[in-house]
């Protein structure tokens, strides 16, 4: 009975079953090697057996190191089959590093263990089990932008007043419901007022639309997996049989759905299924590691109680405390402890370091944000000149992405190599999304959002009217929009020109689909799609300089696809349950289009963090990122910038104690990323979106012990003149976001357009400048809804005055302002 849903190739638990001749090629590290460089509580956690284990400890105390070593220990000393290990990290990059480290210790057989984020693990499970839940395994993953597009359609269908019901607000509400594992009906039942009832209605329609499109959004990935396990017990038992060891890093940032998932895999099966017949598989051995002081994702549904209540949730749990910090100097630690000490209701920790006091923290108060950025650049320059650090050792943190701009301008000016992590992301660019929409359509033509996106992109004469006719025809015939297109000749009301265009489009897609079915490489399919669709041609023939950048970005995407297709690690390791545990990397079949799309849908900001420079001489580049992205990382030199009340702590948190405490945890995260040198800085005047504001010093500055900070310049020494030497240069448009890898390759791909492009322009921040006219309605990330009053200048120089009601009229440089036309 329990085998009704067998998982193909599911390995039976322990590696002891594997024939001896296979295990011979395994490297077996000695116990000493596995425990080397661990202190006593660390190794206790590594060798622990049985009961659920919680490792709680402050920043830099080796939690992640313990988790990694434990995996190696399980495989090497306890003979756990690598396929029976599920390790959860917060980012894909962290997962890759952990996998690499374990492989170094125990060899290539570790390849088939699952080390991934919750989302990636859920995708893999759902790809196998989707039939149980009534969707196809080729489902599309909708990211935030796709979800928003879909919700906009839903709002239109329901005829909702956009002033009162913003798609983003509804999606937020739905996301919270999903994180709490509430489906649309439950959400409707719990709705307390008209607004919530409307939200719940939108939830229902949105979910129907997703289902029609054979698509899941991010939150669905988690929720559906929990639903799967709760509904189909045999399925859950099968996965329990598979995963005998579950390890979770950054446990303090799990949400309810993730928590439930862990319980499904690790809880006591006897207890929670009293009446059901069938075989019971005991839960997996569980270890979670985390630090409640670093919980910083409450706004995304993370629940700090998950870590605080671990011992109640798992009554036989054991806890290991780590107290020695190996990352930072005592000065940095004391400062961080002093700040976080202002939060209430936390368990005080004794975190110490024997790295010595090290350098004092350096403080700086700038005249304005430009002066602050200049100080940072000069200081990095000095450190590198004196051989104290390389650019690659340095990180600059800020509270919000928008703050990176001024650093970029100054860094370009002084020639400081840097990389911005996050912000307007590569995969969010229009042309990249268009290209991916082609690929998504190929694997899942039911995905209407993608299909309609490319239906008339590039322009091929399929107008709104023809689209509406097909839509109506499809609804009537109860077929998908794609099938409607295929049978467009039968649909009434379509002009013959449009019909021809539709037929041609269908042919293009079908041809491409044949390539995919024939197992053609991802990069080849992508190039073919861009060519036969005419997409590339349209861009290449355009006079718009932005289109040149778009061609370059597409070339970059092709390069990414090529790298993906060439990397045997990336392919079916996406589904190691089917992989031969002893296969050599070369044996693997080429990774497919679905794997590629999955990979790009789940890229997070932190995945773009450059690797540390290799070798003494390599200078590397300065990394800039928000504090949220910095979680789990460490850098020899850290600049914590914009320490102003209203910036950090964020404006939104000022009157709200729980939010303020979350900001303080974020400060703790930031401070504890530094190994040797820490800088804190602020600006007296900051121009946020045009209007300069005077911000008082951040309260977190006041919480630093005075004797630990060496103020290079204080507010009292501030001069009122604004430095002229770093005016806004044309360099402001560079973002340096793309990684260098693959750029050379790409230049040769689409040569006609790229040949003329200056190599240094490749990183041009191609933020789409909205084309606005007076009277247009817009939304702004901070100010919300507004109406355009006037527009001056064009393209890069366009400045709009926008009336945001209670927030007043703002003058915004459209190139940078987070404004979207409604």
Residues tagged in the binding site annotation for ATP: 57-64
Between CA 729 and CA 292 the distance in angstroms is 43
Which of Mg ion, ligand ATP, none binds 61 (CB below 5-8 Å, type-dependent)?
ligand ATP
Binding site, by residue number, is 57-64
Question: Count of alpha carbons within 13 Å of 672, Cβ hemisphere only?
Answer: 30
Report strand pairing: 53-57 vs 318-322.
parallel
Question: Which of 178, 244, 673, 686 is the catalytic position?
Answer: 673
* 744-783 binders of ligand ATP (CB under 6 A): none
673 classed as catalytic: yes
The 3-state secondary structure of 27-64 reads CCCCHHHHHCCCCHHHHHHHHCCCCCEEEEECCCCCHH
Window contacting Mg ion (CB under 5 A); options: 17-25, 176-184, 626-634, 701-709? 626-634
Question: Which of 91, 117, 207, 294 is the catalytic position?
Answer: 294
Residues 6+ apart with CB under 8 A from 353: 324, 325, 326, 327, 328, 329, 330, 333
Question: Which of 143, 220, 249, 552 is the catalytic position?
Answer: 249
Least Å distance, CB 291 to ligand ATP, is: 5
Window contacting ligand ATP (CB under 6 A); options: 37-45, 206-214, 263-271, 814-822? 37-45
Q: Compute CA distances 731 → 66, 414, 481, 722, whole Å.
A: 44, 11, 45, 20
Q: Interface with Mg ion includes 64 (CB under 5 A)?
A: yes
Window contacting ligand ATP (CB under 6 A); options: 56-64, 142-150, 167-175, 399-407? 56-64
CB–CB of 619/384 below 8 Å?
A: yes
Q: Percent helix, strand and coil across the chain, each rounded to 5?
A: 50, 15, 35
Least Å distance, CB 39 to ligand ATP, is: 5
CB–CB of 607/91 below 8 Å?
A: yes
382 classed as catalytic: no
Between CA 764 and CA 94 the distance in angstroms is 28
Contact residue for ligand ATP among 11, 60, 576, 592 (CB under 6 A): 60
Window contacting ligand ATP (CB under 6 A); options: 35-43, 169-177, 382-390, 580-588? 35-43
Question: Which of 64, 117, 254, 403 is the catalytic position?
Answer: 64
* Token pair of 759 as six digits: 């190599």
Between CA 686 and CA 644 the distance in angstroms is 10
* One character per residue 285-304, x = contact with ligand ATP (rule: CB under 6 A): ------x--x----------
Contact residue for ligand ATP among 9, 37, 696, 808 (CB under 6 A): 37
Tell me 695's DSSP state. Answer: -
Q: Which is closer to ligand ATP, CB of 37 or CB of 519? A: 37
The beta strand positions in 627-748, using DSSP E, are 635-640, 674-688, 691-694, 709-713
204 classed as catalytic: no
Q: Which is closer to Mg ion, CB of 90 or CB of 418? A: 90
Question: Which of 42, 63, 70, 103 is the catalytic position?
Answer: 63
> Which helix (DSSP H) or strand (DSSP E) does residue 803 occupy?
strand 799-803
Contact residue for ligand ATP among 42, 214, 238, 295 (CB under 6 A): 42
Query: Which residue is closest to ligand ATP by CB?
Result: 62
Least Å distance, CB 686 to Mg ion, is: 32
580 classed as catalytic: no
Q: Contacts for 178-187 with beta carbons within 8 Å, 24 or more apart? A: 178/219, 178/220, 178/222, 178/223, 178/257, 179/219, 179/222, 179/223, 179/255, 179/256, 179/257, 179/300, 179/301, 180/256, 180/257, 180/301, 181/223, 181/226, 181/227, 181/256, 181/257, 181/260, 183/207, 183/223
219, burial (CB in 10 Å: exposed 0-12, middle 13-18, buried 19+): buried
Q: Which is closer to Mg ion, CB of 440 or CB of 673? A: 673
Which of ligand ATP, Mg ion, none binds 37 (CB below 5-8 Å, type-dependent)?
ligand ATP
Q: Which is closer to ligand ATP, CB of 141 or CB of 339? A: 339
Which of ligand ATP, Mg ion, none binds 291 (CB below 5-8 Å, type-dependent)?
ligand ATP
Which of ligand ATP, Mg ion, none binds 327 (CB below 5-8 Å, type-dependent)?
ligand ATP
Q: Which is closer to ligand ATP, CB of 366 or CB of 632? A: 632
Between CA 125 and CA 744 the distance in angstroms is 37
Q: Which is closer to ligand ATP, CB of 92 or CB of 601? A: 92
Contact residue for ligand ATP among 240, 241, 327, 550 (CB under 6 A): 327
Question: Residue 182 pairs with which residues in a beta bridge?
Answer: none
Q: Which is closer to ligand ATP, CB of 67 or CB of 494? A: 67
Least Å distance, CB 672 to ligand ATP, is: 6
Window contacting ligand ATP (CB under 6 A); options: 13-21, 58-66, 166-174, 178-186? 58-66
Least Å distance, CB 295 to ligand ATP, is: 11
Question: Residue 142 pairs with which residues in a beta bridge?
Answer: 217
Instruction: Give the interface size with Mg ion as a residue count (CB under 5 A).
Output: 3
434 classed as catalytic: no
Contact residue for ligand ATP among 5, 326, 427, 711 (CB under 6 A): 326
Question: Which of 250, 368, 371, 393 is the catalytic position?
Answer: 250
* 603-662 binders of ligand ATP (CB under 6 A): 632, 634
Q: Which runs of consecutive H residues, i.e. helices, occur in 180-329?
A: 184-190, 194-212, 218-231, 233-242, 256-266, 269-272, 305-308, 310-313
CB–CB of 490/502 below 8 Å?
A: no
How far from chain centre, in Å, is Cα 206? 23
CB–CB of 425/625 below 8 Å?
A: no
Question: Residue 692 pairs with which residues in a beta bridge?
Answer: 687
Least Å distance, CB 671 to Mg ion, is: 15
Instruction: Give the interface size with ligand ATP as a residue count (CB under 6 A).
Output: 18
Report strand pairing: 819-821 vs 777-780.
antiparallel
Least Å distance, CB 32 to ligand ATP, is: 14
201 classed as catalytic: no
Query: Which residue is closest to Mg ion by CB?
Result: 64
Least Å distance, CB 669 to Mg ion, is: 11
Cis peptide before 458 (omega within 30 of 0): yes
Which of Mg ion, ligand ATP, none binds 38 (CB below 5-8 Å, type-dependent)?
ligand ATP
Question: Count of alpha carbons within 13 Å of 111, Cβ hemisphere only?
Answer: 24
Active site residues: 63-64, 249-250, 294, 673
Q: For binding to Mg ion (CB under 5 A), which residues are involved? A: 63-64, 632
Binding site for ligand ATP (CB under 6 A): 37-39, 42, 57, 59-65, 291, 294, 326-327, 632, 634
């Amino acid at each position: 009975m329990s085998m009704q849903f067998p998982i193909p190739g599911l390995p039976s638990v322990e590696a002891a079953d594997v024939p001896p001749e296979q295990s011979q090629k395994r490297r077996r590290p000695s116990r000493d090697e596995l425990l080397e460089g661990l202190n006593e509580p660390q190794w206790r956690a590594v060798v622990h057996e049985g009961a659920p284990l919680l490792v709680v400890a402050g920043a830099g105390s080796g939690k992640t190191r313990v988790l990694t070593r434990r995996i190696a220990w399980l495989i090497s000393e306890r003979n756990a089959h690598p396929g029976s290990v599920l390790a959860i990290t917060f980012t894909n990059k962290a997962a890759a590093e952990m996998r690499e480290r374990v492989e170094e210790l125990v060899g290539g057989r570790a390849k088939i263990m699952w080390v991934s984020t919750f989302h990636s693990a859920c995708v893999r499970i759902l790809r196998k089990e989707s039939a149980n839940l009534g969707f196809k395994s080729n489902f599309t993953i909708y990211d935030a932008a796709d979800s928003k597009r879909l919700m906009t359609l839903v709002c239109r269908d329901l005829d909702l007043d956009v002033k009162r019901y913003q798609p983003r607000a509804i999606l937020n509400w739905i996301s919270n419901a999903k994180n709490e594992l509430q489906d649309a009906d439950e959400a409707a039942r719990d709705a307390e007022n008209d607004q919530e009832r409307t939200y719940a209605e939108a939830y229902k329609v949105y979910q129907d639309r997703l289902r029609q499109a054979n698509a899941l959004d991010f939150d669905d990935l988690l929720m559906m997996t929990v639903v799967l396990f709760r509904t189909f017990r045999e399925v859950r038992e099968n996965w329990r049989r598979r995963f005998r060891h579950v390890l979770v890093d950054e446990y303090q940032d799990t949400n309810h759905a993730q928590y439930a998932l862990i319980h499904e895999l690790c809880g006591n099966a006897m207890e929670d299924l009293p009446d059901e017949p069938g075989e019971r598989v005991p839960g997996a051995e569980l270890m979670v590691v985390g630090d409640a002081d670093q919980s910083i994702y409450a706004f995304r549904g993370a629940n700090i109680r998950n870590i605080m209540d671990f011992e109640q949730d798992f009554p036989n749990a054991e806890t290991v405390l780590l107290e020695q910090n190996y990352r930072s100097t005592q000065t940095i630690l004391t400062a961080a402890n002093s700040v976080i000490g202002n939060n209430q209701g936390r368990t005080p920790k004794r975190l110490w370091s024997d790295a010595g006091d090290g350098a004092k923290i350096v403080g700086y108060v700038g005249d304005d944000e430009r002066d602050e950025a200049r100080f940072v650049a000069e200081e990095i320059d000095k450190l590198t000149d004196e051989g104290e650090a390389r650019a690659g050792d340095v990180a600059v943190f800020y509270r919000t992405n928008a703050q990176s701009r001024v650093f970029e301008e100054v860094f370009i000016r002084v020639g400081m190599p840097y990389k911005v992590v996050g912000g307007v992301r590569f995969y969010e660019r229009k042309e990249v999304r268009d290209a991916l929409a082609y690929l998504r359509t190929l694997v899942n033509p039911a995905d209407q959002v993608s299909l309609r996106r490319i239906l008339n992109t590039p322009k091929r004469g399929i107008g709104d009217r023809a689209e509406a006719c097909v839509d109506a025809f499809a609804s009537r015939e109860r077929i998908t929009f794609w099938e409607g297109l295929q049978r467009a000749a039968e649909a009434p009301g379509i002009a013959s020109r449009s019909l021809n265009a539709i037929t041609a489009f269908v042919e293009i897609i079908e041809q491409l689909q044949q390539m995919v079915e024939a197992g053609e490489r991802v990069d080849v399919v992508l190039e073919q799609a861009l060519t036969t669709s005419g997409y590339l041609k349209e861009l290449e023939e355009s006079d718009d300089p932005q289109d040149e950048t778009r061609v370059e970005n597409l070339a970059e995407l092709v390069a990414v696809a090529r790298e993906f297709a060439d990397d045997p690690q990336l392919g079916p390791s996406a589904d190691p349950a089917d992989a031969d545990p002893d296969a050599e990397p070369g044996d693997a079949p080429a990774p497919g289009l679905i794997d590629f799309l999955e990979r790009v849908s789940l890229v997070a900001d932190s995945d773009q963090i450059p690797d540390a420079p290799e070798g003494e001489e390599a200078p590397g580049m300065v990394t800039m990122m928000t504090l949220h992205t910095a979680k789990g990382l460490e850098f020899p030199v850290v600049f914590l910038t914009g320490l102003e009340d209203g910036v950090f702590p964020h404006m939104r948190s000022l009157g709200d104690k729980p939010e303020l405490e979350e900001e303080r945890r974020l400060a703790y995260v930031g401070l504890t990323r530094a190994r040797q040198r820490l800088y804190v800085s602020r600006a007296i005047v900051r121009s946020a979106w045009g209007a300069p504001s005077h911000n008082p010093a951040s309260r977190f500055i006041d919480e630093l012990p005075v004797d630990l900070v060496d103020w290079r310049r204080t507010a009292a020494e501030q001069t009122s003149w604004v430095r002229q030497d770093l005016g806004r240069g044309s360099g402001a448009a560079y973002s340096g976001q793309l990684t260098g890898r693959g750029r050379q390759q790409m230049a040769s791909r689409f040569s006609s357009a790229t040949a003329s492009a200056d190599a240094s322009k490749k990183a041009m921040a191609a933020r789409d400048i909205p084309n606005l006219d007076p009277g247009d309605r817009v939304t702004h990330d901070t100010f919300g809804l507004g109406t355009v009053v006037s527009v001056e200048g064009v393209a890069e120089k366009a400045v709009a005055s926008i009336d945001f009601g209670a927030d007043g009229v703002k003058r915004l440089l459209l190139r940078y302002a987070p404004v979207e036309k409604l």
